[in-house]
Structure 1
Amino acid sequence: MDPLGSFRFRVEIDGLVVGGFSEVTGLQLETEVETYREGGANAFAYKLPKTTSSPNLVLKRGMTYSDLLWRWYRGVVGGSIERRSGSVILLDEDGWEAWRWNFVGAYPVKWIGPELRGDQSQLAFETIELAHHGLLAE
């Protein structure tokens, strides 16, 4: 079986496909550790887990016919923080779902506009960045 390509994916928010993107970054988690040295045990130190965090998800070079993401971001600008859940879905070569990263409690924190081109009819945007409470891979 061929490895899955990183260029076939879609993004869903609240179960609805919201657009196609050519790049998604921020699919990572990191657990902070605290080093604890026990008295008399000089050969090693315990590493105890603390909090787990993840960076913002950055969806780049997106194309969509929907204005859902724009309205969601405009709500944040206007002071209405509506947290939503969603997924980044990796597709296999036949277009079937191969892997899914779910994110929870997300809201947009940054919007970068499109390069406008007369030969495209889609509602285009360049980048949207989402703060969230964490990831769960399925």
Structure 2
Amino acid sequence: MSDPGASGGQAGVFADPYRVYNFKLEIQGITAGHFTECSGFDIQVHAIRYRQGGVNEVVHRVPGPVTYGDIELRYGLTDSRELWDWFMTAVEGRVQRKNISILMLDSRGVAEVMRWDCINAWPARWRGAPLNALDHALAIETLTIVFETLDRA
């Protein structure tokens, strides 16, 4: 018989889900900033299909290669050059792989409640902020980061 509390929850007790608006980026353990959006967390195990000889009605599937999505970070343009300089090392052919972490914070934005560690990450794409003289919005840049493995802590 399974333990009803094994999933971390208790029967009849409602736990609020985490909020999506409090998160930050750490590069090599140092906070690199807070961002307006972080997307692209994705892991896929590709299924390899095959048929067994003489059994045509069944297509078997076995796990194949694993791929990871690219992370897109959107942030307000400032005079900080840290992310730009890191990206430019890749442009110049001197890729600097770093371990980065995306941290989800509690609703007050103080305590860490969850973390995703991206191993051997490096910036692969930069998109500048769209400029429009008739708009009063913030200038938002986008940095795409690729990585080799992902762990959730």
Tell me the TM-score normalized by structure 2. 0.76
Match of 2:119 in 1: 104
Query: Identity of counterpart residues, as a percentage?
Result: 31
What is the identity, as a one-letter code, of the residue corresponding to 1:58?
E
What is the identity, as a one-letter code, of the residue corresponding to 1:110?
R
Unaligned runs of 5+ in 2: 1-14, 132-138
Matched, 1:56 2:70: yes
Q: Root-mean-square deviation (CA), in Å?
A: 2.0
| Secondary structure of the structure 2 residue equivalent to 1:79 | coil
CA separation in 2, counterparts of 1:45 and 1:105? 36
Match of 1:20 in 2: 34
Does the CA-based 8 Å contact 2:77-2:129 persist in structure 1? no
How do 1:88-127 residues align onto structure 2 when only pairs under 5 Å count? 88-94=102-108, 95-114=110-129, 126-127=141-142
- Distance change in 2, residues 1:62/1:85 (3 Å): farther
What is the identity, as a one-letter code, of the residue corresponding to 1:109?
A
Unaligned runs of 5+ in 1: 117-123
- How far the C-alpha of 1:22 sits from its partner, in A, is 1.3
Paired residues, number:
131
CA separation in 1, counterparts of 2:33 and 2:95? 21
| Secondary structure of the structure 2 residue equivalent to 1:61 | strand
Matched, 1:34 2:48: yes
What is the identity, as a one-letter code, of the residue corresponding to 1:10?
K
Match of 2:151 in 1: 136
Does the CA-based 8 Å contact 1:19-1:63 persist in structure 2? no
- How far the C-alpha of 1:115 sits from its partner, in A, is 6.1
| Secondary structure of the structure 2 residue equivalent to 1:45 | strand
| Secondary structure of the structure 2 residue equivalent to 1:103 | strand
Which range is displaced more, 93-102 or 9-18? 93-102
